[in-house]
Structure 1
Amino acid sequence: MVKSYLRYEAAASFGVIVSVDCNITYDSFGKHLLVGALEKLGVWNVRQGVCSKFLAPTPSSSSRGRSLAVTSIAASSSPSLIASGYADGSIRIWDSEKETCETTLNGHKKAVTVLRYNKMGSLLASGSKDNDIILWDVVAEAGLFRLCGHRDQVTDLVFLDASKKLVSSSKDKFLRVWDLETQHCTQIVSGHHSEIWSIDVDPTETYLVSGSADPELRFFTVKKDFDKKDTGSDNMEYGLDNAKKNTPNKWDVLKPFGEVLRQNKDRVATVRFNKFGNMLACQVSGTMVELFRVLGDSESRRKAKRRINRKEKKSSEGKSESAENGNSVAEEASEILVTAPDVFKLLQTVRAGKKTSMATTKTSVIELQGHRSDVRSVTLSSDNTLLMSTSHSAIKIWNPSTGSCLRTIDSGYGICGLFVPGNKYAIIGTKSGMLEIIDVRSGSCLEVVEAHGGPVNSIVPTADGFVTGSADHDVKFWEYQTVTKPGQDSKQLAVSPVRNLNMGDEVVVIAVSPEGKHIAVALLNFKVKRISNLLQLGTVFNDRNVFFLDSLKLFLPLYGHNSLVLCMDISSDGDLIVTGSSNKDLKVWGLDFGNIRSSTYAHEDSVMAVKFVKNTHYVFSVGKDSLVKYWDADKLELLLSLEGHHSAIWCLAISNRGDFVVTGSHDRSIRRWDRTEEPFFIEEEKEKRFEEMLESEREKSYAPTEEPPEEGSVVSVGKRTGETVTAVDSMLEALDIAEEELKRISDYEDEKSQGKLSDFRPNILMLGLSPSEYVLRAVSSVHTNDLEQAFLALPFVDSLRILSYLKDWVNIPDKVELVCRVATMILQIHHNQLVATVSARPVLSILKGILHKRIKECKDTLGFNLAAMEHLKHMMATKSDAPFRDAKTKLLEIRSQYLKRAESSGQTKEERRRKKKKKKMDSDHVWS
């Protein structure tokens, strides 16, 4: 009988607030903060400091089930629309209210690095590591064109001139200005000495600022009058001291305005203006944010005038012609050159306690929910209700079921840890060689014990205490004690060493058998040794030695690894030990004779942790290849390969019942994998992995090798993927079925005309649709963004067949836009063949007469509807303001009548005030 196993699946991910490689931004109202947390898009409530929702693509929409990290986020002016870019180059547009993905845009070949909406929210510009910029029509859900020219990763984008211009920055040290109407680069701005990381423009589009690794911020003025011819005076107007060096160009949009020296020398991460344009924030890659105040015209001119006066005063020292100097000052003041230091004044420098991810005002701190560095160890309590994780400077206690953080405790660099029996205390081994005793209930560190002279690499529980292994070559045995501290009535936990064993080399990892008979120690020099009550993993070159228990002599040597052993574990019955090494191997040994039972190439990189499921011979292993693998150790056969982490996995913990597994990674996340009731068989999983490998090879073949485009060129937006090939197959299948159905209908009509009556049964595959409707259904099902690539892959003969159906589809009002797109694409792709094909001319002639008429009808309908909506909007605004205007007018009339009566009575203002006060007092007296 074929053996079946129970499947493990990803259940939860926690411990990550924001990914390192993703920006953060506010939504259009400023009420929520949008962050990328690995594959999820988190929406945080700013006031409450809690994550209100997570937006994540379904596994079926991901690439072969592998989760993709969010690399960039942009919020639209529309309240609910959010765009997120991913590591595979795809872009998803989310509706945060419905928590659904509205559309997926595929165009970039590498990770998306920047997204930027225009003010109306109708256009979306994206930059990528493939050095290209793509402009997307959000309404049509399609790409407009691709801009090529940068020679390195695009880092930021800014729209100008009512979305007619686009400014891009790159790691190639250049700014480029693109004309979106003519789709070409109009200006290349040089001058930066290092990679440009961020740019921004103020709301009035007067100043543009760029930040790089240079010690200063560079400012540019944005030219708005593009018909004005540049002159020397124009250069002076924009503060160009080196006007002679710069050749004036009337098409230049950006004019250098000056530089402002920064306080911090780290590279700039983000520069942003506030929505009013009176503040500028510069956030560096460290922990500092510099805030600049943007001065007004009069204030900046006064500042520039004072600067000129100081300069003139210095130059006039030692001269007696004060009058002439005064005249020169006055003359120069009349032609004041306002530069960037005169406009942008450093207001405040904000230093955060940790590295910042965006320039923000510190109103609240969100740090409880995750580690700020790698998760180096995870440990479950004996009842599986608590999970402890260690990292660079903190210990966190979690609820593994909900993923909520219960305690955060400051500590040293924790490498390993364990729960003391009873789960009230925990022991942490640190990189500095210390043991920290933690009170789990109070979340405090009770005592720090100096245990080793090097990092404590491993800590394992025993029946009456625990064992530690360190880089100082020692393996120490510890026992628990309870002591009463001076001045305290209650007792607390303490530990003391009872035995010490020097191994002669650095101890990498240790393992103790559940029955307490054996202990395994892996050393830095690849040793494999076994002692009765002491098992050492030692060098392959050592002689075999047998030691006795009473004298701690070697009992049984094991050897076979030819590289560093990084992890190991012993099965519950004490029969097997599994080891993983840096050469990606996994080996299973028998503890009876010390022989290798089986060995396999397990991971694509070093194996970092292995664990047996309790009371079984099933093993979990994790590695630097970011995969979790499930094995049957009896045959050392791969059962499952679990994907989810985005970086190297360092640690692993399994519950006592084996119903869930917890892993910690370099991506700072902690993930839980639950055992389900779904059975599976090894052969089925092998077939799945083989199909995934074939699919991966197919995807590689879909992307043809293309020559890099010329600088400043505009190329097509689409990217050929598996979806486009599937779309082509569906259209070809629909065309064949429709053609066969048309032939059957024609034969039936001929038989009917000849008097041969027979029943006609439509093809059941067409679902009751006519041949034209069936083909239209197949074409309409293709995603708008994939339509161009699908027609590029469609043969000319089949394109001609689709062209013949367009004259029928154009009469459907809601399909006019689709028909126009299809007709335009076919004409562009197969222009030469269509010109040379005589049979195509009648169809083209018919479409030429129909399409223009239908497009004009749709345009008139849309224009009429827009005008009607504007009229209704104006009427509603007028009606809503009418009561307020009437009330205000009435109040003004009453006030003027009162003043007229008072003036006619001859009362002064003071008398009227006293009379009013007395009247009020009388009224209060009556009511009382």
Structure 2
Amino acid sequence: MISTTCKNELKIWNTRTQQCIRSLHSEYGLKCIFISGNKHVLVATKQGSLMLYDLLGSRLLQKYLAHDGPAYSMDLCPDKSGVASGGGDACVKFWTFDLVMNAKTGEKELSLKLTKTLKVQDEALCVKYSPDGKFIVVSLLDCTIQLFNAQTLKFHLTLYGHKLPTFTLDISSDSQLLISGSADKNIKIWGINHGDCHKSIFAHSDSIMGLRFVPKTHYFFSCGKDRIIKYWDGDKFRKIQEFSNSHKNEVWDIAINSTGQLLCSGSGDRSISLWMESDEPLFPLEEERKELESKFDENLDNEDKFDRKPSAIEKSGIIEFKEVDKPTRKNMDAIDRAEYLMECMTEWKNKEAKKSAATEFMYGVIRNIPTSQMEEIILILPFQNGIDWLLGYLMDILSCDQNEKGTIDKSRGDMEKCVKLCLCIVEIHYQRFLGTYNLELFRCLKTLSILCRQNLTDYKRTIGHNLETFAYLQDLMKSKAEYAFGTFQRDKNLFINAQKDKLVETWDDKDNDVDEEMEM
């Protein structure tokens, strides 16, 4: 069986018939695991609670408020006697299973009992027990991985190396190797006893979301937001196989059965893919040759794109376009702002609200976007149901009348940021726009071109009017200051001249007295 969770539902699937056999209401689920002989399922939610379900009775047994923040991860202890959960409140909590008597039915039911709490330095993103039960491994938001003694919770060691937070962990069946996948797109292979890093592999072109060892081997699978699943050899540090056409959106997690013959992957495209081990021989060198050939063909296509002739717009020199590549390292603040912007647009698209209310709200969100992060945010947003929605909101904002009542005030100068955002979108997705045959999108771009010119012209007139006003006030103040200074200087000169005349008269009188005395 397979258990999956989403925004408001828990589903149980039969792997043989590929049919849903249970569908239960739940909160926003982030993680789910089978417990107690696959008769119960435990769900960790975004609200910070643990929800225990009975599959035979298709009902919720109990809901436990485990964490003050989201419950990001949980893992079943090796002896199946309890679970450990990690959340956004920087705590790892340890729960044991217990049977309690139900007062209504008179039967014993499974329940959870909190036994220990481990306080860590930052939010716990992933929690994992070692199969031998010796260690519990916790990945933190501060990009570190910490190992603790599973029995005493005594600190063992810290693993450093990832530049961005680690989202997923797994430990081999012999408890010798630890693998970690991070938002920095790297997989690191560690020795769990001494914490030495055996190898760091640049594995995916986007954040790594899931890692799973094949039982009783050092082979492992990885998945990420680049929609690719890869198969690796943990001893030789090489890729064995790649599955690139399995999903159309981000792959959030993968799971493997106890025999290692069945792999399951869940994606943001709302689909589940099942992979069965085949009897056909696999030649890694042949796979590498095919990959090199595909990369060579891709490089040839890119060279053809770079050698293309400039378009008429580029020749005119009115707008200068440049090639924009994806950033090698995404700023976490830009990622958060992009996700918040996407959530706001999705929420207002689904809401049946007035257009003016949505426009005013989105204007407030766009106004708070830092200019330095515009390009990163545009690169993070998806083109379909992302960039096109943003262009629609920008068109509504720029077309608002200044005299309309509301929070949109064009006199604040925020229209300049909206126009700059439009130009950044066109600059980054210029080639995508040329290859898209979407009449509605072209009409939107044409309207935005007219609105941007109008708003910039109005803004330029406002600035020119303000500059002329300041120049007039400056001249007026200068003329008054010169008149006051001239009057003071003239009076001062008259006083000095009068003093000089008095001094001369005094000296003349003294000379006359001296001459009279000499004559006498």
Class of the TM-score when normalised by the shorter of the 2 chains? 0.5 to 0.7
How do residues 895-910 of structure 1 correspond to structure 2 at under 5 angstroms? Answer: none
C-alpha deviation, 1:489, in angstroms:
2.5
Which residue of 180, 193, 200 maps to 1:592? 193
Counterpart-to-counterpart distance in 2, 1:669 and 1:594? 37
Q: Do the aligned partners of 1:598 and 1:635 also contact (CA within 8 Å) in 2? A: no
Q: Which residue of 1 aligns with 2:129?
A: 512
Counterpart-to-counterpart distance in 1, 2:309 and 2:20? 49
Counterpart-to-counterpart distance in 2, 1:398 and 1:591? 35
Counterpart-to-counterpart distance in 2, 1:423 and 1:498? 23
Q: Deviations over 1:255-293 (max 9, x none)?
A: xxxxxxxxxxxxxxxxxxxxxxxxxxxxxxxxxxxxxxx
C-alpha deviation, 1:700, in angstroms:
5.0
| Pair 532,439 (structure 1): closer, same or farther in 2 beyond 3 Å | closer
SS of residue matched to 1:697: helix
Q: Which residue of 2 aligns with 1:394?
A: 9
Amino acid of the residue matched to residue 116 of structure 2?
Answer: R
Counterpart-to-counterpart distance in 2, 1:415 and 1:503? 21
Counterpart-to-counterpart distance in 1, 2:311 and 2:5? 46
Q: Do the aligned partners of 2:144 and 2:161 also contact (CA within 8 Å) in 1? A: no
Q: Do the aligned partners of 1:473 and 1:507 also contact (CA within 8 Å) in 2? A: yes
C-alpha deviation, 1:421, in angstroms:
2.3
How do residues 275-424 of structure 1 correspond to structure 2 at under 5 angstroms? Answer: 386-424=1-39
Q: Which residue of 1 aligns with 2:166?
A: 565
How do residues 500-899 of structure 1 correspond to structure 2 at under 5 angstroms? Answer: 500-533=117-150, 550=152, 552-643=153-244, 644-700=246-302, 705=308
Compare the two structures and name the one with the higher helix fraction. Answer: 2
SS of residue matched to 2:131: coil
Unpaired segments of 5 or more residues in structure 1?
1-385, 534-548, 711-928
Counterpart-to-counterpart distance in 1, 2:157 and 2:67? 28
Q: Do the aligned partners of 1:456 and 1:470 also contact (CA within 8 Å) in 2? A: yes
Counterpart-to-counterpart distance in 1, 2:253 and 2:240? 20
Amino acid of the residue matched to residue 590 of structure 1?
Answer: G
| Pair 554,489 (structure 1): closer, same or farther in 2 beyond 3 Å | closer
SS of residue matched to 2:121: coil
Counterpart-to-counterpart distance in 1, 2:221 and 2:113? 33
What TM-score comes out, normalization by structure 2 length? Answer: 0.57
Which residue of 25, 45, 58 maps to 1:430? 45
Q: Do the aligned partners of 2:74 and 2:86 also contact (CA within 8 Å) in 1? A: yes
Q: Deviations over 1:193-236 (max 9, x none)?
A: xxxxxxxxxxxxxxxxxxxxxxxxxxxxxxxxxxxxxxxxxxxx
Which residue of 65, 78, 99 maps to 1:482? 99
Q: Do the aligned partners of 1:582 and 1:605 also contact (CA within 8 Å) in 2? A: yes
C-alpha deviation, 1:628, in angstroms:
0.2
SS of residue matched to 2:298: helix
Counterpart-to-counterpart distance in 1, 2:51 and 2:155? 32
Q: Which residue of 2 aligns with 1:472?
A: 89
SS of residue matched to 1:679: coil
Q: Do the aligned partners of 1:652 and 1:664 also contact (CA within 8 Å) in 2? A: yes
| Pair 707,401 (structure 1): closer, same or farther in 2 beyond 3 Å | farther
Unpaired segments of 5 or more residues in structure 2?
314-520
Number of matched residues? Answer: 309
Counterpart-to-counterpart distance in 2, 1:640 and 1:426? 32
Amino acid of the residue matched to residue 215 of structure 2?
Answer: K
Counterpart-to-counterpart distance in 2, 1:702 and 1:524? 42
| Pair 601,556 (structure 1): closer, same or farther in 2 beyond 3 Å | same
C-alpha deviation, 1:442, in angstroms:
2.9
Q: Do the aligned partners of 1:529 and 1:559 also contact (CA within 8 Å) in 2? A: no
Amino acid of the residue matched to residue 234 of structure 2?
Answer: A
C-alpha deviation, 1:611, in angstroms:
0.8
| Pair 701,531 (structure 1): closer, same or farther in 2 beyond 3 Å | closer
How do residues 29-428 of structure 1 correspond to structure 2 at under 5 angstroms? Answer: 386-428=1-43
Q: Do the aligned partners of 1:477 and 1:499 also contact (CA within 8 Å) in 2? A: yes
Counterpart-to-counterpart distance in 1, 2:197 and 2:303? 41
Counterpart-to-counterpart distance in 2, 1:675 and 1:391? 27
Q: Deviations over 1:454-505 (max 9, x none)?
A: 1111110012111111111111111111122222122221111011111131
Q: Which residue of 1 aligns with 2:76?
A: 461
Amino acid of the residue matched to residue 129 of structure 2?
Answer: V
SS of residue matched to 1:678: coil
Q: Do the aligned partners of 1:580 and 1:587 also contact (CA within 8 Å) in 2? A: yes
**2:98 pairs with 1:496:** no
Which residue of 446, 451, 456 maps to 2:66? 451
Q: Deviations over 1:107-164 (max 9, x none)?
A: xxxxxxxxxxxxxxxxxxxxxxxxxxxxxxxxxxxxxxxxxxxxxxxxxxxxxxxxxx
C-alpha deviation, 1:707, in angstroms:
6.5
Q: Do the aligned partners of 2:218 and 2:233 also contact (CA within 8 Å) in 1? A: yes
C-alpha deviation, 1:593, in angstroms:
1.6
C-alpha deviation, 1:562, in angstroms:
2.2
Amino acid of the residue matched to residue 445 of structure 1?
Answer: L
Aligned CA-pair RMSD: 1.9
Q: Do the aligned partners of 2:29 and 2:43 also contact (CA within 8 Å) in 1? A: yes
C-alpha deviation, 1:599, in angstroms:
0.8
Amino acid of the residue matched to residue 497 of structure 1?
Answer: L
C-alpha deviation, 1:699, in angstroms:
4.6
Q: Do the aligned partners of 1:585 and 1:603 also contact (CA within 8 Å) in 2? A: yes
Q: Deviations over 1:349-382 (max 9, x none)?
A: xxxxxxxxxxxxxxxxxxxxxxxxxxxxxxxxxx
Q: Which residue of 2 aligns with 1:245?
A: none
Q: Greater shift after overlay, 398-407 or 623-632? A: 398-407
Counterpart-to-counterpart distance in 2, 1:554 and 1:502? 11
Q: Do the aligned partners of 2:188 and 2:200 also contact (CA within 8 Å) in 1? A: yes
Counterpart-to-counterpart distance in 2, 1:701 and 1:518? 51
Counterpart-to-counterpart distance in 1, 2:96 and 2:205? 40
